[in-house]
Amino acid sequence: MNISGCGKEMLPLNIVGGESSAPGEWPWQVSLQINGNAHCGGSLITDFWVLTAAHCFQMPLETSAYTIYLGAYQLSDLQNPETESRTAEKIIVHPDFTNEGSSGDIALVKLGNPVNFTTSIRPVRLPSEAVRLSEGTLCWATGWGSVEENVPLAAPKTLQKVEVALIDNGQCETMYQSDAASTLSYSHIQEDMICAGYQEGKKDSCQGDSGGPLLCKWNGVWLQLGITSWGNGCAMANYPGVYTRVQHYQSWLQQYVPGLQYSEGEENFSSKKKIASEIHGHRKPEDSVH
Residue 286, in any domain of the structure: no
Residue 54 near residue 94, CB atoms below 8 Å: yes
Q: What are phi and psi of 197, to 5 degrees?
A: 150, -150
What is the tens place of the pLDDT at every residue in 242-272?
999 999 999 999 999 987 878 864 443 333 3
Taking alpha carbons only, the member of 142, 47, 37, 45 closest to residue 86 is 47
| pLDDT for position 101 | 84
Q: Is position 184 within any domain?
A: yes
8 or 65: whose pLDDT is higher? 65
Q: In this structure, is residue 46 part of a structural domain?
A: yes
In a domain, 12, yes or no: no
In the residue annotation, 105 being an active-site residue is answered as yes
Q: Is the pLDDT of residue 13 over 70?
A: no
Q: Domain total for the chain? A: 1
92, part of any domain: yes
At 166, the amino acid letter reads L
What's the pLDDT band for 6 if we cut at 50, 70, 90?
very low
Q: According to the model, what pLDDT value does residue 195 have?
A: 94
Parent domain of 181: 19-259
Q: Is residue 145 part of a domain?
A: yes
Q: Which of 51-60, 157-166, 176-185 has the lowest mean pLDDT?
A: 176-185
> 96, 105, 192, 209: which is the annotated catalytic residue?
105
- What gap in Å lies between CA 220 and CA 204, rounded to an integer? 24
| Catalytic pick among 4, 21, 55, 263 | 55
Q: Which residues pair with 289 in a beta bridge?
A: 92
Catalytic residue among 4, 120, 146, 210: 210
Per-residue pLDDT tens digits for 179-227: 644 545 456 899 999 999 886 644 445 555 799 999 999 888 999 999 9
Is the distance from CB of 13 to CB of 6 less than 8 angstroms? Answer: no
Structure confidence by residue, pLDDT tens digits, 104-153: 999 999 999 999 999 999 999 999 988 888 899 999 999 987 665 666 77
2: pLDDT strictly greater than 50 = no
Q: Give the pLDDT confidence score for residue 177 in this predicted structure.
A: 83
Active site residue 55: yes
Residue 289 inside a domain? The answer is no
Per-residue pLDDT of 64-109, as tens digits, reads 999 999 999 998 889 999 999 999 999 999 999 998 889 999 999 9
Domain assignment present for residue 113? The answer is yes
Q: Confirm whether 102 is a catalytic residue.
A: no
Phi, psi of 74 (to 5 degrees): -120, 120
Reported confidence tier of residue 11, pLDDT bands at 50, 70, 90? very low
CATH of residue 187's domain is 2.40.10.10
What pTM does this model have?
Answer: 0.82
User: What is the 3 state secondary structure string of the chain?
Assistant: CCCCCCCCCECCCCCECCEECCCCCCCCEEEEEECCEEEEEEEECCCCEEEECHHHCCCCCCHHHEEEEECCCEHHHCCCCCCEEEEEEEEEECCCCCCCCCCCCCEEEEECCCCCCCCCCCCCEECCCCCEECCCEEEEEEECCCCECCECCCCCCECEEEEEEEECHHHHHHHHHCCCCCCCCCCCCCCCEEEEECCCCCCECCCCCCCCEEEEEECCEEEEEEEEEECECCCCCCCCEEEEEHHHHHHHHHHHCCCCCECCCCCEECCCECCHHHHHHCCCCCCEEC
Provide the pLDDT for residue 290.
Answer: 41
